[in-house]
Structures are given as structure tokens and as C-alpha cells.
Structure 1
Amino acid sequence: MKKVYICSPCRGDYENNIQRAKEYSRAAVEKGVIPVTPHIYLTQFMDDNVPEERELALKIGSELVLGCSELWAFGIDHPSAGMAAEIELAKAHGIPVRNGFEAISELKPDEEPEDKPDIGSVTLHLPAFKAMAVCNQHLDHGPISIELDGSVILELADRLISDPGVHIEIGG
């Protein structure tokens, strides 16, 4: 199986960012790859608020990037400083960098696309969010836009119709 480095923010909204990293990793597994997501497990025994431990964790992450076939960046348009360093490292070593949201929305390699007509797409524009920087200044990360193929919308509608009252959660 292919190993993919999951690159997403850790600092800022710490608990929410870790939860999102778990969700991205789960989605990667569902796409048939092995996710390598160090800030899920390194934060279990290292303190990101201790500068020496953060630096060591970033070095460990860099080594893990080099052992992966691809890097999937979640938030590639507005990467954190840590993400930007990982992305640059991957590029410098010829490791493909992909938009993580696009990567997890593609078909699995063993799935064959059905002959369905192109019914269009839906673009969601999510409002901006603010994160705390190290210097305690707010950073405006701007709006996030996600494009969904119309067939995804229809599949969600089918799930809602077949199981009324169900709550479907996508992403973080």
C-alpha cells in the first residue's frame, strides 16, 4: 500500500485540528492508502507548547515526509508555517504534493466510474476562520471553497431518503 503524509494544521484550534487530522486519516484509509499523520500521535507524548519538543516533533515529521509517496495537504491554499515547511520539503525531494480534499474525493483505484451523465457540481463557500498565531495575533485564513460533484450530492440525498433522520457528517 502507498504511504501518504497527511499535512494539516496542528496549532491554533488545537483539539479541533487534531480531530480533523483523524478524519483526514480515516478518509485516506478509505481510499486505500496508509496515512502518516504524526501530529495525531506525537501530541500524545510530546508538548507542542515546549519549544524544544515542538522542534523535535517537526524534525520527526520531516523524516516521515521523506518516507512517503505523496503529501496530501489539507489547507494547501493557506498553509500554517509548519505545513509550508513540510510542503517545501516534499517538493524539494520530488514527492508529489496534492490538495488533500481533492485526493480524498477521488474514486478508489479499484473502482470503475459508472457511465453517468455529467449533472454538474456544487461549490460550497465556507466562511473564514481565525487562528491564534504564536505571537497572539489573529490570522484571517480567508474563506474555504470546496467543489462537490453533483453525483456526491445525489448520493447524500439517497442516503437521507433511505434513512430519514440520519445525520451525515463530512470532514471536520
Structure 2
Amino acid sequence: MKKVYICSPCRGDYENNIQRAKEYSRAAAMKGCIPVAPHVYLTQFMDDNVPGERELALRMGRELVLMCAELWAFRLDHPSAGMAAEIEVAKQAGIPVVNGFEAISRIEGPGEEPDEAKQSTGSVTLHLPALGPTAGPQPEIHIELDGGIILDLAERLRAAPGAHFDIGPGGDGHGE
């Protein structure tokens, strides 16, 4: 599994920034990567408000960058000072710096190896009103779709915008 460094702001809106880093880490894990997110765990025992501890944590983070295959930067267009230092370390070491939001939303194209996490993509349940001959409340129809179908459909629509695809009973899944 590929190790990716989660590079995102810590200072400022401290609690929310840590929560966002947890969410970015989860998204990376769901893409089949091992997220390395220092301010998710270093903040458990280091105090960012103590200058010496903050500098030590920043140094640890820069060392951890060197252990990763990629650096995923969230807020790449406006990095914090700490992020900028981590990005510079990655660039100097030849480690690719990737826009984190693009990395977590990327859908692999045909012929690419699927992420290990994609093997269990979950499902989507659609709740649709039943249309019947009588007026008044109708029971809902519940349709559960495997997440793989949703990802496949998204890829097909990206390749052929405006196409029509049938995926229900009688539909063969091919576009028109």
C-alpha cells in the first residue's frame, strides 16, 4: 500500500482543522493508501501552543514526509507556513506533491489497477415514490445499487457526456 502524507493546516481553527485532517486521512485510507497525518496524532501528546513543542512536532512532520510516496496537500493554493515547509521538503526529495482534493475524488480510468478499498465500495439506496393508478399516498420503492455500479456509471458518463445508460431490469448497461 502506498503511504501518502496528509498535508493540511493545523493552526487557526485548531479543532476543525484536526477533524478535517481525520476526514482526509479516512478518504486516503478508502482509496487504498496509508495516510500519514502528524497533526492527527502528534496533537494527542504535543502542545501546539508551546513554541518548543510546536517546532519539534513540525520537525517530526518533515521527517515523516520523507517516508511517503506522495504528499497530498489540502489547500495547496493557500498553504500555511507549516504546510509550505512540508511541501518544500517533498519537492527537494523528489516526492510528488498532489492536490489532496483531486487525489481523494479521482476515479481510476480503464486499464488502471483499482484501489484495494474499491473492492468493497458499499452501496447506495434510492428511495423513490411509487406511481400508481390511485391518488393518495403510495408506498416508496427502495432500490439498492452496488457502489461499483455507481463508479462504473460515473466513468462512462465522464467518457461520453450526454449518453443514456439503462442499468435496471431489461437494460444491458450499455449507452445509446
Q: Which residue of 1 aligns with 2:161?
A: 118
Q: Which residue of 2 aligns with 1:38?
A: 38
Scaled by the length of structure 2, the TM-score of the pair is: 0.65
User: Matched residues in 1 for 2:34 and 2:19: separation?
Assistant: 18
Q: Please show how residues 70-81 of structure 1 align to structure 2 within 5 Å.
A: 70-81=70-81
Matched, 1:90 2:65: no
Kept in 2, the 8 Å contact 1:31–1:107? The answer is no
Look up the equivalent residue of 1:69 and give its one-letter code.
A
User: Matched residues in 2 for 1:115 and 1:13: separation?
Assistant: 39
1:118 Cα shift?
2.3
Matched, 1:13 2:54: no
User: Matched residues in 1 for 2:22 and 2:2: separation?
Assistant: 18
CA RMSD of aligned residues (A): 1.5
Look up the equivalent residue of 1:16 and give its one-letter code.
N
5+ unaligned residues in a row in structure 1: which ranges?
Answer: 120-172
Look up the equivalent residue of 2:24 and give its one-letter code.
Y
5+ unaligned residues in a row in structure 2: which ranges?
Answer: 119-150, 163-176
Moved over 6 A (4+): none
Scaled by the length of structure 1, the TM-score of the pair is: 0.66
Look up the equivalent residue of 1:118 and give its one-letter code.
P
SS in 2 for 1:4: strand
1:25 Cα shift?
0.3
User: Matched residues in 2 for 1:67 and 1:82: separation?
Assistant: 18
1:107 Cα shift?
2.0
Q: Say which one has the larger Rg.
A: 2
Q: Which residue of 2 aligns with 1:56?
A: 56
Look up the equivalent residue of 1:30 and give its one-letter code.
M
- By relative contact order (CA 8 Å, sep 6+), the higher-ranking structure is 1
SS in 2 for 1:6: strand
User: Matched residues in 2 for 1:106 and 1:30: separation?
Assistant: 12
